[in-house]
């Protein structure tokens, strides 16, 4: 482990520092928890909270900002300032879910936020699997009862094991992006509640969908399903890449104490090969669109977020029992 890189990460925001302490330095829990508590009052976490509306929402909307003009989407990209993306980013930052601010936020959103599609209360979920996967992850993390959304997602699996937001439009095949969004939600639900036999089986099936494809290949041809899956993205929002998938599997395996699946090996090799000479990893791209503020220094330069996630994935992989790459 490169100490200059660790120092570079620690010289950043509390949202990165506490994860470095926990995942890379194995700091005692009281130490990293004390650092995590700063997310509410310092740096990016405090800055994002400062943009919160009085009614608990961000930008006056659940999925899209109030007064949004569809031309903006076509000209600048999808906006990322509304409630669902802001809440997910606070979860990524590590806002303490037991804090008064987090509890107040959850209550206000439940009372005031309505989904743009359907108008239902926020914590009842939306209609798309991607959105509901993230809603489950956020709700479970912040202590909301989202079991009904989980039950719905379990019933929306595709025949090949995963999920697809285009299911309602007739799709019968899963997508990588929809599947990882739902898997992250189900894992967070399992952490919070222990899960149900049905949610655990669904999560296992979704994992198998990705593993059969080595996280980025088409099952039919073996070719990459998208070259972008091999590019390093942050913030991911709803987008998929191999680092997001690897970090998910790291968390899943740590929870179940299972051995890492050898089918992860090809993605691990690709991630290792992307390491720069100075020990960091670059940001390849970020989703276009309106944001509250940037948390990276731009594309094609070292990214603290990408480096943090890559280092903890490789630390976990290298510390695990030796496994051979699947053919």
CB atoms inside a 10 Å sphere around CB 321: 6
What are the extents of the domains in the chain?
3-319
Per-residue pLDDT, 322: 55
Residue 257 confidence (pLDDT): 86
User: What secondary structure letter does DSSP report for 285?
Assistant: B
Mean pLDDT of 32-40: 98
Looking at CATH, the fold of the domain delimited by 3-319 is given as Glycosyltransferase (1.50.10)
What's the whole-number mean pLDDT along residues 318-325?
Answer: 65
User: Which tokens hold the place of 238?
Assistant: 């709803």
Q: What integer is the mean pLDDT of 162-174? A: 89
What's residue 320's pLDDT? 86
180 in Cβ contact with 245 (< 8 Å): yes
Mean pLDDT computed over 222-247: 98
Distance, CA of 54 to CA of 195 (rounded, Å) = 34
Predicted confidence at residue 171, as pLDDT, reads 83
Whether the model clears a pTM of 0.85, i.e. scores above it, the answer is yes
**CB of 63 within 8 A of CB of 84?**
yes
From 176, 216, 182, select the one nearest 199 (Cα to Cα).
Answer: 182
Sign of the CA dihedral with 297 first, then 299, 301, and 306 last: positive
Give the number of other CB atoms < 10 A from CB of residue 265: 17
How would residue 324 be classed by pLDDT, with cut points 50, 70 and 90?
A: very low
Mean pLDDT score of the chain: 96
Residue 167: pLDDT band (50, 70, 90) is confident
- Residues with Cβ within 8 Å of 110's Cβ and at least 6 positions away in sequence, in order, are 121, 122, 123, 144
Distances (CA, A) of 316 to 156, 180, 232, 233: 32, 20, 19, 20
Distance from the Cα of residue 84 to its chain's centroid: 12
pLDDT of 323 strictly over 90: no
Report the alpha-carbon distance of residue 276 to residue 10 in Å, rounded.
19
Whether residue 229 contacts residue 176, with contact meaning beta carbons closer than 8 Å, is answered with: yes
Given a cut of 60, whether residue 24 has pLDDT beyond it is yes
């Amino acid at each position: 482990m490169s100490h200059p890189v660790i120092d570079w990460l620690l010289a950043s925001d509390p949202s990165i520092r506490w994860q470095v302490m926990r995942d890379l330095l194995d700091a005692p829990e009281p130490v990293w928890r004390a650092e995590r508590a700063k997310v509410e009052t310092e740096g990016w976490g405090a800055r994002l909270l400062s943009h919160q509306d009085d009614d608990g929402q961000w930008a006056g909307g659940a999925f899209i900002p109030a007064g949004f003009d569809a031309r903006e989407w076509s000209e600048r990209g999808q906006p990322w300032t509304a409630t669902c993306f802001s809440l997910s980013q606070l979860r990524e930052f590590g806002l303490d879910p037991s804090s008064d601010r987090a509890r107040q936020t959850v209550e206000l959103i439940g009372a005031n936020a309505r989904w743009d599609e359907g108008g239902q209360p926020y914590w009842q979920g939306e209609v798309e699997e991607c959105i509901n996967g993230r809603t489950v992850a956020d709700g479970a993390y912040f202590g909301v009862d989202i079991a009904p959304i989980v039950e719905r997602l379990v019933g929306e699996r595709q025949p090949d094991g995963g999920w697809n937001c285009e299911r309602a439009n007739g799709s019968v095949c899963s997508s990588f992006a929809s599947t990882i969004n739902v898997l992250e939600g189900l894992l967070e639900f399992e952490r919070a509640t222990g899960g149900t036999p049905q949610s655990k089986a669904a999560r296992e099936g979704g994992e198998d969908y990705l593993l059969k494809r080595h996280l980025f290949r088409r099952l039919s041809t073996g070719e990459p399903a998208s070259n972008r899956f091999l590019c390093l993205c942050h913030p991911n929002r709803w987008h998929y890449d191999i680092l997001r998938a690897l970090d998910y599997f790291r968390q899943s395996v740590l929870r179940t104490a299972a051995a890492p699946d050898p089918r992860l090996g090809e993605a691990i090799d690709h991630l290792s090969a992307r390491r720069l000479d100075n020990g960091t990893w670059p940001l390849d791209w970020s989703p276009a669109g309106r944001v509250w503020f940037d948390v990276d220094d731009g594309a094609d330069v070292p990214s603290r977020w990408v480096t943090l996630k890559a280092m903890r994935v490789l630390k976990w992989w290298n510390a695990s029992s030796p496994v051979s790459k699947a053919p």
